[in-house]
Structure 1
Amino acid sequence: MNVSKFEGREPVSMIIDADTGIDDALAILYAVKSPAIRLEAVCTVFGNIDVDQATDNTLRLIQLAGARDRVQVVKGASKPLEREFQGSTSHVHGENGIGGAVLPPSDQLPLGEAAADYLVRIANERPGEVTLVLMGRMTNLALALRRDPSIASKFRSVVVMGGNVLVPGNVTPVAEANFWGDPESAAVLMEAGLPLTVIGLDVTLQTLLTRDALDELGKTCLPENAPLVDFLKDSFAIYFDFYQQVNKLDNACPLHDPLAVIAAVFPEMVTCTTLHASIACGDRLTDGMVVTDRRVFPSVGNPVSFALEVDADAALEELYSVFK
């Protein structure tokens, strides 16, 4: 394993917030296996699937990774901040959210605390210590901020997978799925004064996992990680097919959520630009759109750091390295 990237660094204490689908699962497994990360908990939320399925998937995944004794699972929001849940994306992630792959049930139970309350508690108990990575709808953190706005300054950093600035959306012409699925929550985050970095389609669409690379990883991974890679190969089959049909990618798919986790630990792998931004809410055509004020003297929105360039090869190398 290549340790040069994190040699001399303390592992990052991390909480992931996920609607545990196919790429979420890979991101969680990466976080569990990476020596650069101390994954403490996974909060769940609706999105790719309903929150109950997301929670069940997460519990099974943590068990598969052998991390149930050190990673808590915290059930979160079942619907958007001010709207109704529009339903799961089974055409993308399969009926169970992980491409139909079957994992043994876990007897681990979710923490007896709602995700929003958990985030408020952790932020207040350990200010400046925890990095939060949001890979689904941002509802849990939005609820937490509404309950205690002071926590905005108490996370070490907040990294969000979502949005699009210079490229089209993937649900509508102008909006990415996580921002579109709960635009009011995305707006809360943009306005809260968080130490926020947005990892959106501008960079995730450049960072592609191929079927061949996943097959090769199955041959080169450590024996202890073979069950993880076997699961990923089963899970990603439907994902590769979807991106072939929709994006005309040849046996490849974007690494949306894994890139967010990698960038949270290795920010040098992305190049960010600070833009004044706000989120469109309340209009069918523009819901979830990132509106950036790029005038010389911007007056709309708040300054937010957006990743617009990525060293995709380095990110992929880092992803593969934790399994070898």
Structure 2
Amino acid sequence: MTTRKMILDVDTGVDDAMAITYALADPNVELIGILSSFGNIEADRAAANALKLLQLYQCPQVPVFIGRANPLDHQYQRIAVNAQIHGENGIGDVNLPAATAQIAKQNGVDFLIDTAQKYGEQLCVVTTGPMTNLAAAFAKDPVAIRKIGNITVMGGALTVPGNVTPVAEANVEQDPVAANQLFTSDLKITMVGLDVTLRTLLTKQETSQWRTCNPTAGAKLADIVDFYIDVYDEIYPELGGCSLHDPLAVGVAIDPSFVTTIPLNLLVTTEHDAYYARTIGDKARLNEPTNLNVAVGVDRERYLNVFMKLFLDFLEKLN
């Protein structure tokens, strides 16, 4: 498998922390930068969380950039459920050592454009928060962003209800205008939404293995994710574990065979009504060439096996 140069665009909550871990653990990935956005937590705190995780994993050389702090058409305001699910600090209220590295001075949107220009088809961009940074970069330099070889987004819900409202998934709901601009563009995008992430679950049986494998970094990661699992037990008891939303998107970006997809042109409802932030087929483009591949099925057992092997091997090497 060809090594992918990857940028992660994160709003560093608990599942983003697992996405970062996955990208660092997979030998087929060269993580060349992390770009923060708002969502689970404010963009500046998301960047700070990413730096602390990189410090924990002995990877301070990976640069972290701050992108857009607000959606395209309104001001960001953290909703209470984000603190409930991810903790006040975004990472399960677990305290990580302060990072020695500093946040990069360049604006994250400009970093994304420059990197797209430099690497083109070799570049893979995975968004695990709102799509605002990518939309802003596309608006500023569409020629550069069209060069990106792989764009995978965690967001949306096509065949299942949303997790913020009956029709809206959280990342899309944070900035429906940005999501709609991308989904109705000519960019080739893979959407990894709730249709597949709700089927891909982790339990404390798995996180306990991290503790055994590595009593420092592994235990900290387990503390972060166990917070998330406990919340899921309270609010989604029918699932039997926590959803691997963001790390599944990273996995699919590297190995698309984890999921089955359908080609479809989507739009996002941006009117402020009962259907706000809904991802749905675009009736006006039914017979036009498609730009999205929407994941609707997942090989969850194979994915979880790969996920756990990568994590355990990575944590073992840190000892």
Cα distance per residue 1:110-169 (max 9 Å; x no partner): 111111111111111222110000000111111111111113321011000000000000
Deviates more, 1:209-218 or 1:245-254: 245-254
Deviates more, 1:165-174 or 1:182-191: 182-191
TM-aligned CA deviation for residue 11 of structure 1: 1.5
Indicate yes or no: 2:241 matched with 1:248: no
Deviates more, 1:297-306 or 1:205-214: 297-306
Over the matched positions of the two proteins, sequence identity in percent amounts to 36
Which is helix-richer, 1 or 2? 2
Deviates more, 1:231-240 or 1:25-34: 231-240
Q: Could you say which residue in structure 2 is the equivalent of 1:105?
A: 98
Deviates more, 1:87-96 or 1:286-295: 286-295
Unaligned runs of 5+ in 1: 1-8
Q: Could you say which residue in structure 1 is the equivalent of 2:258?
A: 269
What are the residue-to-residue correspondences of 1:139-288 with 2, within 5 Å? Answer: 139-219=132-212, 221=213, 223=214, 226-249=215-238, 252-288=241-277
Indicate yes or no: 2:68 matched with 1:80: no
Kept in 2: contact 1:278–1:300 (CA 8 A)? no
Work out the CA distance in 1 between the residues paired with 2:232 and 2:216.
25
Among candidates 15, 24, 41, match of residue 32 of structure 1: 24
Kept in 1: contact 2:189–2:291 (CA 8 A)? no
Kept in 2: contact 1:276–1:292 (CA 8 A)? yes
Kept in 2: contact 1:180–1:288 (CA 8 A)? yes
Deviates more, 1:135-144 or 1:249-258: 249-258
Among candidates 49, 60, 74, match of residue 68 of structure 1: 60
Cα distance per residue 1:209-251 (max 9 Å; x no partner): 01112113433x3x4xx42321122112321122122221465
Q: Could you say which residue in structure 1 is the equivalent of 2:316?
A: none
Superposed CA RMSD in Å reads 1.8
Kept in 1: contact 2:184–2:266 (CA 8 A)? no
Indicate yes or no: 2:298 matched with 1:306: no
Work out the CA distance in 2 between the residues paired with 1:239 and 1:301.
40
Alignment TM-score, normalising by the size of structure 1? 0.91
Alignment TM-score, normalising by the size of structure 2? 0.93
Work out the CA distance in 2 between the residues paired with 1:300 and 1:240.
42
Deviates more, 1:237-246 or 1:196-205: 237-246
TM-aligned CA deviation for residue 194 of structure 1: 1.5
Amino acid at match of 1:102: N
Q: Could you say which residue in structure 2 is the equivalent of 1:123?
A: 116
Kept in 1: contact 2:263–2:290 (CA 8 A)? no
Kept in 2: contact 1:243–1:249 (CA 8 A)? no
TM-aligned CA deviation for residue 293 of structure 1: 4.2
Q: Which runs of 4+ in 1 moved over 3 A?
A: 299-303
Q: Could you say which residue in structure 2 is the equivalent of 1:317?
A: 305
